[in-house]
Chain A
Amino acid sequence: MAYVATRGGERAIEQSQRLYREEMGAITPERVNELRQAMPYLIDRVMGEASLYDEDLAALALAQTGGELYEATLLLRAWRTTQPRLAVADPVTQDGLFTHRRISAAFKDIPGGQVLGPTLDYAHRILATEVLSGETHVPDPVTPAARPSPAHQPSVAAWQAENDLLTAAKPDQTTGNDIPDVTREPLLFPAKRAHTLQSLARAETGGVLALGYAAQRGYGQAHPTVNELRLAEAEIKVKHPRGTTFSAGRVKLSQAEVVNKKGTQLELGFAATMGWNEVKVIAAATLDVNSEGAAKGSATEEEFFLYHTEGVESSGFCIHFKLPHYVTFQSSLDAMRDAKAKKVAKDKAPEPAE
């Protein structure tokens, strides 16, 4: 890759940034607050891809970039590097999740039952155009049940293992800074499972969906069924200096188990991400269950999908093509002209017989 140093663009660059921001107007605390309240699923998506959970910062990043998601994610990842890591929380386990939505497409009667939670899955897709005519659209209120739903449920996989449908996972004893971390170590292949799942957790939603969808359409080896999809809140379990473990608060997360029949047993794929983003975790779990034994260069091979769903790197590479490539392009032109000239010279050369 060869670039050429240029100058003369300082004023243009300054004005171009002003032009971008001028169209958005002033960024006020009220605008950030409104964005945070009105766009929780967008905020969740940005937080998950940025690997940084804070709704206020995510709303600010969206306000500052006018909703350009790649820029917003990059802003948050850059800001994250200014902060010290104070602790690694205790690993979240499924039976500790405060559950808002839990469904299974594989089993009708999962222990604990199925609760739809907040979803538009069954909604009529009708725009409320009356709002554009000056009316206010007020959603119908929920009619709460008399009793609460159980807050905590084990995973469907744990129930299947008890019923000999699959081999129970052996719980990992690795904790704290011993857990492999792609933000501090290179991603090497074959990847550690912790690296694969962490990379999918912070992957770009659209990229994961595209490759997961390719696998679902038949370009993979396994056609998954959603074993369990869960939207929940997890406690951030940290330690007091005197040793007491406590929760510093809750964060939203999504997780999906997908299942595939393999011989006489079921095979599971898993994915989770911060925030509520169920398309991403279903697609990511599909890639997980398809990755073993995938052909080199196929959409379900881990090196292929992990490299190509890293949103900051892929968007950065894509937009770098806008940078001056005058030297490389001139070199290509020179080679083209040279080839043309040689061809012309060859065509004009007299035949030996003449």
Chain B
Amino acid sequence: MAPPQMLADFPHEVLLDVLAKADTARLKAFAEPLIAQLDTIGVLENRTGLVMLPIQDTAQGTNFHLGEVLVSEARITASGQEGYGMRRGRDLEAAMAMALVDVAVAAGVAHADCATFIASEQQAQQAADHERLRRVEATRVDMETF
């Protein structure tokens, strides 16, 4: 199936999901030229921090904390819009790059390029998951008991 090439094809949730998992080098390379196309950029936050991750216990249904995950966060304004990035790991530039793409999409800047980039990254992520799951499937047990 051909990837969608219009930003309207990507709900905000999917767009953010894809950007948060996008290849770091490609994301930075794509986001940098957006700076010149956006009006004055204000940085509200660009920091590392922790996200606590809870999980639900299947025995009694209790939600409890597993531990904290290191993330990088960026929150910016540009062209009258707010952009946000949060990615796992301690790469402030990558979080900023995600926020730049988010704000560009919100401000209607470089829409076609953004759509192409997001479609391409989504395809790469889906392909990686597909390949991994083919390997997992190879370990399926066809069990026979005696």
Contacts and interface: CB of A to CB of B under 8 A. Distances in A.
Interface of A: 47-48, 50-54, 56-57, 80, 83-94, 98-101, 103, 108-109, 113-119, 142-151, 155, 157-158, 169-172, 174-175, 179-183, 193-195, 197-198, 201-202, 234, 236, 238, 240-242, 244-251, 253, 255, 257, 268-270, 272-274, 288-289
15 contacts: A52-B50, A53-B67, A83-B68, A87-B51, A88-B51, A94-B58, A145-B140, A169-B61, A175-B63, A194-B63, A197-B64, A240-B12, A242-B84, A246-B12, A268-B58
Interface string B76-113: 00000010101111100000000000100000000000
A240 B57 contact: no
B49 interface: yes
A151 B134 CA distance: 10
Contacts of A257: 58-59
A143 B71 contact: no
Nearest to B82: A241
A91 B88 CA distance: 17
B42 to A, nearest CB: 14
B70 A53 contact: yes
A115 B141 contact: yes
Shortest 6 CB-CB distances between A and B: which pairs?
A: A249-B88, A148-B133, A169-B61, A246-B16, A51-B67, A145-B137
A84 B47 contact: yes
Interface residues of B, number: 56
A234 B70 contact: no
Interface of B: 12-13, 16-17, 20-21, 47-71, 73, 75, 82, 84, 86-90, 102, 129-141, 143, 145
A288 to B, nearest CB: 7
B54 A92 contact: yes
A244 B67 contact: no
Contacts of A197: 57, 62, 64
Contacts of A51: 66-68
A91 B54 contact: yes
Contacts of B54: 88-92, 175, 179
Contact of A98 (B50, B56, B129, B143): B129
Given A236-B69, A240-B84, A251-B88, A148 B136 contact: yes
B64 A241 contact: no
Contacts of A251: 53, 69, 88
